[in-house]
Structure 1
Amino acid sequence: MVRGRITAAIEGVEIPRPFDIEEFARRLGEHRGRPIHLFAVELPPANDVRGLWLATGTEDFVFHELGTSKLHQENTILHEFAHMLLDHRGNGHLDEEQARVFFPDLDPGAVRDVFGRSAYSSALEREAEFGAAVLWELVGRRLVPERRLDLASAAVVDRFDEVLGGTR
């Protein structure tokens, strides 16, 4: 189900070869008729948010962690793209401290009030994780190169690699 929804959502988007996440974001934004802007931000080590998708009426903004590997950054971006492509909606998941990180020039209380205190449900987060894995496959890259694993197993191994800080 998720695979079909993601595949349909990017149908017609030419995948850049070699793959480049910024060029893919540009092409995906053109396809959707809404520019996508990527922003790398410094996140405190204790912060549990690694990425954020913010949709306005005309544009999409994807924030991701600056102080991590390129692989982790790309995975975070693809995870946020999956939320976008799967049309996940809901209140954000920022508290005041996180609001200061993502929006340093805005009143953190106001940002918190806009995003609320609820998070995406666990089911939507799992769906976005699977959606990111589908996107990795569709763009022709695997998070675990040179391994012949089914998609679900590869996603588990990749997550361990990401959490443990490994790079390949």
Structure 2
Amino acid sequence: MRVDRRAVRGRVASAIEGVEIPRPFDIGEFVRRLSRHRGRPIHLLPVELSPASGVRGLWMATGTEDYVFHEVGTSRLHQENTILHEIAHLLLDHSGNGHLDEAQARLFFPDLDPQAVREVFGRSAYTRVQEQEAELGAAALWDLIGRRLIADRELEPSAAAAVDRFGEVLGQPDAR
């Protein structure tokens, strides 16, 4: 099944409509504003993940809060992209058809009983289409935020702020 890029972008844009984008952009402040907009807390939780796990991030929702786990042992840019990917799952209201297995429970909550974690969070595994939508959703968020994801390049915060300001003044080419 082919994912409709415009439809995903529209859903993401609608979901963040009214959320003021912080300038210069700061992922933590953006998530705080999104949390207030949605009326439920979103917690960003950095965790150390094994490269062998293949997991870089995870979104879990409870009845009242959302938790976004992301890899701490990577670049800031990669962390931000992972967070935006998980936020895209959240904004697109994805639910899956699987569960949090014992290895994943131990990975994200090493000090807790894996069975208890699985019962509380019951994470869903996403379909291939949902993963494609989350990737497109993250790209849409980067665009809506007004920054481009530049592979293999990370700017210091002051330089990123300057690039953001130039982008605001000069405008960004329409990549759609």
Using the size of structure 1 for normalisation, the TM-score is 0.81
* Alignment partner, residue 88 of structure 1: 94
* Alignment partner, residue 17 of structure 1: 23
The one of the two structures with greater contact order (alpha-carbon pairs below 8 A, sep at least 6) is 2
Question: Per the alignment, in what secondary structure is the counterpart of residue 52 of structure 2?
Answer: coil
Question: Per the alignment, in what secondary structure is the counterpart of residue 45 of structure 2?
Answer: strand
Residue from 107, 122, 135 that aligns with 1:101:
107
- Give the whole-Å Cα distance in 2 for the aligned partners of 1:55 and 1:28: 15
- Give the whole-Å Cα distance in 2 for the aligned partners of 1:23 and 1:92: 32
- Give the whole-Å Cα distance in 1 for the aligned partners of 2:97 and 2:42: 20
Q: Offset at 1:111?
A: 3.1
- Is 1:65 aligned with 2:91? no
Task: For residues 117-138 of structure 1, give each alpha carbon's deviation from its aligned partner in whole angstroms, at most 9, with x where no partner exists.
Answer: x620111000000000000000
Task: For residues 36-79 of structure 1, give each alpha carbon's deviation from its aligned partner in whole angstroms, at most 9, with x where no partner exists.
Answer: 11010000120111111111111111000000010110000000
- Is 1:120 aligned with 2:120? no
Out of 41-50 and 18-27, give the one that drifted further.
41-50
Q: Return the index of the structure with the highest Cα Rg.
A: 2
Q: Tell me the C-alpha RMSD between the 2 structures.
A: 1.7
Q: Offset at 1:95?
A: 2.6
- Is 1:167 aligned with 2:153? yes
Task: Flag the 1:16–1:92 CA change in 2: closer, same or farther, 3 A.
Answer: farther
Task: Flag the 1:16–1:52 CA change in 2: closer, same or farther, 3 A.
Answer: same
Could you tell me which amino acid in structure 1 is paired with residue 61 of structure 2?
A: A
* Alignment partner, residue 43 of structure 1: 49
Task: Flag the 1:92–1:70 CA change in 2: closer, same or farther, 3 A.
Answer: farther
Question: How many pairs were matched up?
Answer: 147
Question: Per the alignment, in what secondary structure is the counterpart of residue 17 of structure 2?
Answer: coil
Could you tell me which amino acid in structure 1 is paired with residue 153 of structure 2?
A: T
Any conservation in 2 of the 1:93–1:120 contact (CA below 8 Å)?
no
- Give the whole-Å Cα distance in 1 for the aligned partners of 2:82 and 2:107: 17
* Alignment partner, residue 56 of structure 1: 62
Any conservation in 1 of the 2:96–2:127 contact (CA below 8 Å)?
no
Using the size of structure 2 for normalisation, the TM-score is 0.78
Q: Offset at 1:12?
A: 0.2
- Give the whole-Å Cα distance in 1 for the aligned partners of 2:31 and 2:64: 15
Q: Offset at 1:91?
A: 4.6
Task: Flag the 1:126–1:103 CA change in 2: closer, same or farther, 3 A.
Answer: same
Task: For residues 128-166 of structure 1, give each alpha carbon's deviation from its aligned partner in whole angstroms, at most 9, with x where no partner exists.
Answer: 00000000000010002xxxxxxxxxxxxxxxx4xxxx3
- Give the whole-Å Cα distance in 2 for the aligned partners of 1:95 and 1:49: 13
